[in-house]
Amino acid sequence: MSNAGELTNGHAIPAKFDATGPASTTTELDFALTAPSAIETRMEEGFTQQQPQSEEIEPVTAAPLSKKGQKKLARAARYQEAKLERRAKEKERKKEKKRLAREETKRKREAGEPVGEDEQPSRKKARTTVAEPFGARVVVDLGFDDKMTDKEIVSLTAQLAYTYSANRKASQPFSSLLFTSCNGRTRERLERQSNAAYQRWINTEWWDGGYEELWGDATSASASTSKQKCEKEKVVYLTADADEELSELKEDEVYIIGGICDHNRYKNLCQDKARKQNIRSARLPIGKYLAEMTTRKVLTVNQVLEILLEWVATKDWREALYSVVPKRKFQSNEVENREVVYEDVEEFAADEKDLDGPDDRTSDS
C-alpha cells in the first residue's frame, strides 16, 4: 500500500485514491495521463491534411525539327565547312604568291636588275617623307555667314574639310591654316560634324574675330596678344576681281581666301572688302595661263588652296592650274558647269559619310 501523494507513472495520485483500489479506477487514470490529448490528435490530423501532394515532373523533350529546319541546319553546316576550306585555300594562295615574289626578287638582284621597291617607293613610305612646310600663311575668311543659305553653309563646311585634307596630305604643306570670323551658323555646323572634328585638325587655328587681328589694330573682345601678328603690307586678299595678277608666293606673306559659297550672287564682294580695309588684293593668273577657259574664273576654297600647294611643289602656274582646275571649266555652257560642280560636292560628301548633300560651291579666287 502506498501513501497519498506517491508518484505513479511520474504523476502524483490524489489522496482519495488508493493504489489498491478497484482496477478500473487506476486504469482510467493511467490512460488519461499517458494517452495523447484530443487537441494534439486533431493538430496532427490537420497538419497531415495540409501537406501538398508531391507531383511528378515530366522530362521536357525538344520538338523534332521540321524538314525545312533540317535543311536549313544542313545548309549552315555545309556553308561553315566550305568557309573553312576557302580560308585554307586563300592562305595557301598568299603563301604561294609571297614565295614567287621572293624568288623573283632574288632573281632580279642576282641579275643586277632593279627591284620594284627600289624603282618606286610604296605610297605609305612616300607620305612619310614630307618636306619642310612652306613658310607662307593661308587664311580663310569666314566673315560671310549672313550672306549664305543653310545649304550653302553645308557646302562651305564641306570645302573647309577638303581644304584641311589637301594641306595635310601635301608634299610641302603650308605652315598653318587660319580660319577667321568662325561664328554663327558656320560654327554650329562644324560643331555638329563628327563630334566637332574640326577642333582636332592639326596645324589649324580658329578665331572668332576677323583677320584684322593679324596686324593688331582690331578692337574686338576676342583680340589676344598671344596670336601671331604680321605687317599689314604682307597681307594679300585673293579674289578673281582684283586688278593685280599674282606672280609668285612668298614665305613671309599671308594669303586670304574668301570663304563663301554664294552661287555668284555677290559681285566684287571680296575685292570691295579688301579695298575698304586698305589691304592688297590679287588674282590667280588663270587668264594668262588658261586663256581657253571661257567660264567665270571662280573656284572653290579647296581648289584655290590646291592650286597654291601645287605651285609650291612645282613653281609652275600652268602645271598647277591644269592639275586642279576641273576640265568642265573650259566649257562655255555655264549651266552644265554648275550641275557638274553639284555632283562633285555630293561625291565628296559621300566620301566623308558625315556631311549632308551640299549644293554648288563657289569662292572668289
- The cell for 32 is 488519461
CA 47 centroid distance within chain:
71
Tens of pLDDT along the chain (365 residues) come to: 445 444 444 454 444 444 444 444 445 545 445 555 555 555 555 545 555 555 566 666 667 888 888 888 898 898 888 888 888 898 898 989 989 888 888 887 777 777 665 444 444 444 545 578 999 999 999 999 999 999 999 999 999 999 999 999 999 999 889 999 999 999 999 999 888 999 999 999 999 999 999 987 544 444 444 677 889 999 999 998 899 999 999 999 999 999 998 877 888 899 999 999 999 999 999 888 887 766 666 789 999 999 999 999 999 999 999 889 877 666 554 433 333 333 344 444 444 444 333 333 345 55
pLDDT attached to residue 331: 58
**Cα–Cα distance for residue pair 19/4, rounded to 1 Å:** 9
Structural element, H or E, at residue 345: helix 334-352
Q: What are phi and psi of 51, to 5 degrees?
A: -65, 125
Q: Domains along the chain?
A: 136-352 (3.40.1280.30)
Q: 314-324 b/e with 16+ CB inside 10 Å = b?
A: eeebeebbeeb
Active site residues: 262
Kindly report the number of other CB atoms within 10 A of residue 147's CB atom. Answer: 13
HEC string of 307-321 equals HHHHHHHHCCHHHHH
**Cα–Cα distance for residue pair 215/95, rounded to 1 Å:** 63
- The cell for 234 is 604682307
CA 113 centroid distance within chain:
45
Amino acid sitting at position 134: F
How far apart are the two ends of the chain, measured CA to CA in Å?
Answer: 141
Q: Which residues contact 6 (CB under 8 A, 6 or more apart)?
A: 12, 13, 19
pLDDT attached to residue 103: 86
**Cα–Cα distance for residue pair 325/320, rounded to 1 Å:** 9
**Cα–Cα distance for residue pair 190/193, rounded to 1 Å:** 5
Neighbouring-strand partners of residue 245: 283
Kindly report the number of other CB atoms within 10 A of residue 308's CB atom. Answer: 26
